[in-house]
Amino acid sequence: MATDPLETAWKLQAGLTDSTGKADAKASFALAIQSTVLALLGILTSAGKSPGNPEHGVSLILLWVGAALLACGACCAAAAVSPNLRKERRGPQPDDDFLFFGHLRHWDPTDLETALKDKDLLPNLSRQIVVMSEIAWTKHRRVQWSFALAAIGSAALGLASIVK
């Protein structure tokens, strides 16, 4: 027995929404940790108690490289959680899209009700699934970069603290 394409599309959309939410949660965690480490590093440095030996060139370089990598990781995390309100691929006109809240806000409730009853939702939902997949992919890649940069930056900070 064949599955209803509209039902399948809604299940895909729900899965993408869940995946996007998980990427946002991971990015928020990464941003909080990286920002905290950077703030503590700034406090320690301004108090003259930064990790490492400020008179040792390698230690100082590792300290700055580590801080820069952590900052780049935090930027990747911030970019991952930043709202994506792009207009491209959402549909040519607001009255062609039933799923994007940016377009829905322009609808008259009565006109929307009529359109939902009379128009085929599958083309709009299919386009939204593709757009949401691109957004979810981008978010996950940014989170991946954030964690990688944070790990390398943390290693550099750790090395800076043990170089004498």
pLDDT in tens, 102-125: 778 888 889 888 888 888 888 888
DSSP assignment, residue 2?
Answer: P
pLDDT in tens, 65-82: 999 999 999 999 999 999
Task: Kindly report the pTM of this predicted structure.
Answer: 0.81
Highest mean pLDDT: which of 19-23, 42-46, 58-62?
19-23
Name the residue ranges covered by the structural domains of the chain.
21-162
Nearest-angstrom CA–CA distance, 139 and 26: 10
3-class secondary-structure state, position 146: helix
**Torsion sign (Cα): 35, 41, 44, 47:** negative
Nearest residue to 81 (alpha-carbon basis) of 28, 140, 36: 28
Helix axes 57-81 and 122-162, enclosed angle (nearest 10):
160
User: At 143, which amino acid appears?
Assistant: V
Measured distance between the N- and C-terminal CA atoms of the chain, rounded to whole angstroms: 71
- Min mean pLDDT across 20-24, 35-39, 82-86, 89-93 is at 89-93
Cα 2 vs. chain centroid, distance in angstroms? 36
Q: Are 76 and 149 in contact (CB under 8 A)?
A: yes
pLDDT the model gives residue 73: 96
- pLDDT of residue 88 exceeding 70, the answer is no
